[in-house]
A and B are shown apart, each in its own frame.
Chain A
Amino acid sequence: KQEVTQIPAALSVPEGENLVLNCSFTDSAIYNLQWFRQDPGKGLTSLLLIQSSQREQTSGRLNASLDKSSGRSTLYIAASQPGDSATYLCAVEGSTFGDGTTLTVKP
């Protein structure tokens, strides 16, 4: 059974800092991994989808990587802003979600 873990559970950084969020999964035979953002009481907003054949995807200040062999994905956020404060979730094949990392960016 696939298990997804996200570390750290919470992260607080000053504005402008670059940061990395981690997602690990136990079964490397995956089709895709997707990163989402969730604001309190809201739905999930898709950030990046990485297919199994890809190693990374980029959108603006966000870069997500995927290493299937090691069962890891990272989400890199460059030049963080207070508006980036939210919970970031990773999901494997849309079926198994991590607990999320709650990010706070302080002005």
Chain B
Amino acid sequence: EPEVTQTPSHQVTQMGQEVILRCVPISNHLYFYWYRQILGQKVEFLVSFYNNEISEKSEIFDDQFSVERPDGSNFTLKIRSTKLEDSAMYFCASSDYRNTGELFFGEGSRLTVL
């Protein structure tokens, strides 16, 4: 069964460093998403991506964040100058349609900022 894969599963970084989280969406999907979940809190939408550009982003997704589809399979989230409060689980998801498509999530990348 097709699945969304994410790497790394866990990353520890020092405050101020840059991190890149990677995702391989389901191959025939066209819409890609990033979410974060701070421990004990709700899943929060960060950004959606379609046709090589951001289609929607939340207030959380400020200049510290960027997304990229560097090749035909990978979808990345870059977090610059990490802060302690960036510690969270980051989930990638994909769907075949924006408003009617079922979302499929990866297992997540746990980011710990020290």
| Interface residues in chain A, defined as those with a beta carbon under 8 Å from any beta carbon in chain B | 31-32, 34, 36, 42-46, 49, 51, 89, 91, 93-100
Contact = CB atoms under 8 A, between A and B. Distances in A.
Interface stretch (B14-22, B67-75, B103-111): B103-111
Q: Is the interface of B mostly helix, strand, loop or mixed?
A: strand
A45 B44 CA distance: 16
Interface in B31-59: 33, 42-45, 48, 56, 58
Contacts of A51: 100
Contacts, number: 48
Contacts of A46: 102-105
Contacts of A45: 105
How many B residues are at the interface, by size bracket? 20 to 34
B28 interface: no
Contact of B102 (A31, A34, A100): A34
Interface of B: 33, 42-45, 48, 56, 58, 91, 93, 95, 99-100, 102-108
Contacts of B99: 31-32, 93
A45 B99 CA distance: 18
Nearest to B56: A95
Q: Which 9 A-B residue pairs are closest in the complex by CB-CB distance?
A: A31-B99, A44-B105, A97-B43, A43-B107, A49-B102, A43-B105, A95-B45, A94-B103, A43-B108
